[in-house]
Amino acid sequence: MTANPSSGLALDGPDDWLRLDLNLLRLFDAVHRLGSVSRAADELGLSQPAASQGLARLRLHWRDALFERAGNGVRPTPRAQVLAVGVGAALALLRHTLADPAGFDPRSSQRRFQVHLSDLGEVRFLPRLMALLQAHAPGVQLQVQSLPVAQIAQALHSGRLDLAVGYFPELQDTHQQVLLRDQYGVAVSATHPVVRPYRAAWRRSDDAACESLLGGLHYAAVRSHRHAMELMRVARLEGQVRLNTEHFMVLPALVRQSELAVVVPQQVVALWADGEAPQLASATVRRLRRAARGRKGAGTAGPTDSAAAYAVLPWPRGSAALALAGLTVAAHWSPRAERDPGHLWLRTHMVPLADEYPT
């Protein structure tokens, strides 16, 4: 087959890709990432007809439909899935090379980092991370994504993601840096009638009474929080769920204003309280971290108050859930980014963000 003069694309031969417009590869990558032609067009500043025309040129070039309609968006064909890995990696390499050809100067860099964070991770890290960037790297941008766990490793290795921050014990073949350790507990309002009897039962190591009290509560659950859902299953609390929601941000208000309980990391509960009583929240986080790190004399964190608005009930000492309640939050990246100067700068500066809570 000969070249198509109207499209400017050669459709045969080993050097076909040399005639491929780089902007078409950016379009392909954006549609694959976002699962939507219209959202990809918005991200790239294109009109919908221009994006559709670009996809038509790519389909002609690769002789594949590439994307098929699926609900309100599109899904990649098997051929597009294969192409996405290489295209994403190539664009990431170009972006990093051209953005910082002589290394990485945070004061002048205009680089954009792609970071996976869950909603919990956003609450925990984003405010301090953005404050850091504004102070030391004002031109650097973050694009935060929340991908299905099954897609994270491929996204890191293909360059679609620079970092993934969270609890991902299933991730393989990535480098990682531990940021913090925490433990899940059951958060309720500090005025909840269960708090006093639970504290008494926990202090006398009455596991049966603690489990009975936890089993009598009603719970709110966030479906996307796999670890919390697994803990509720192990503790046989699934039948006590009265609210299923997709959004983490509503939980603090639900706990304060109702008698619903939630299974959540203990340090996160202290962060909820930070705006109300920062000094008490700071002391609570420090004590929880000493317990999580197993420091001498710290012991196991017992029932805690967080700025008098919330109480955190730990799992009974003999509960099967206690063995699964710990979590290690880490930053993950692909080995290909190990020596990237900008990537190294970002990783190095993320570690202090998880240090002791400021007083």
List the domain boundaries for the chain: 16-96, 100-179+329-354, 182-327
Q: Are 312 and 186 in contact (CB under 8 A)?
A: yes
Q: Which CATH architecture has domain 100-179+329-354?
A: 3-Layer(aba) Sandwich (3.40)
Q: Cα 270 to the chain's mean position, in Å?
A: 19
Q: Do the domains 16-96 and 182-327 sit in the same CATH topology, yes or no?
A: no
Distances (CA, A) of 84 to 23, 35, 228, 230, 315: 15, 12, 32, 33, 44
* Nearest residue to 314 (alpha-carbon basis) of 326, 296, 329: 326
- Mean pLDDT of successive 10-residue stretches along the chain, which has 359 residues: 38 55 88 90 90 92 91 89 81 67 79 87 85 93 88 86 89 86 93 95 94 96 89 94 89 92 90 55 48 46 62 92 89 87 87 58
Supply the pLDDT for residue 71: 84
Question: Model pTM?
Answer: 0.64
Contact 326, 185 (CB under 8 A): no
What's the burial of 198, exposed, middle or buried (CB within 10 Å: 0-12/13-18/19+)?
Answer: buried
Task: Give Cα 17 to chain centroid, integer Å.
Answer: 35
pLDDT at 355: 63
Q: What is the Cα–Cα distance from 164 to 114, expressed in whole angstroms?
A: 9
Under 8 Å between Cβ of 166 and 121: yes
**Positive or negative torsion for Cα 17, 22, 27, 32:** positive
* CA 329/CA 231 separation, integer angstroms: 17
**In a 10 Å sphere around its CB, with 0-12 CB exposed, 13-18 middle and 19+ buried, how is residue 201 labelled?**
buried
Query: 10 Å Cβ neighbour count for 142?
Result: 17
* Distance, CA of 148 to chain centre: 9
Q: Are 61 and 9 in contact (CB under 8 A)?
A: yes
Residue with the two structure tokens 């030391």? 136
Looking at domain 16-96, its CATH architecture is Orthogonal Bundle (1.10)
Predicted pLDDT at 113:
92
Tokens (6 digits) for 196? 């006093």
Helix segments in the chain, DSSP class H = 22-34, 37-44, 48-62, 78-99, 119-136, 149-158, 195-203, 207-215, 226-234, 251-257, 266-273, 278-293, 341-350
Which of 218, 220, 199 has its CA nearest to residue 210? 199
| CATH architecture assignment, domain 182-327 | 3-Layer(aba) Sandwich (3.40)
Distances in Å between the Cα of 203 and the Cα atoms of 197, 207, 317 are 10, 10, 10
Q: What is the pLDDT, as a whole number, of residue 304? A: 56
What φ, ψ does residue 179 adopt, rounded to 5°?
-105, -40
Q: Please state, as a whole number, how many other Cβ atoms lie within 10 Å of the Cβ of residue 197.
A: 13
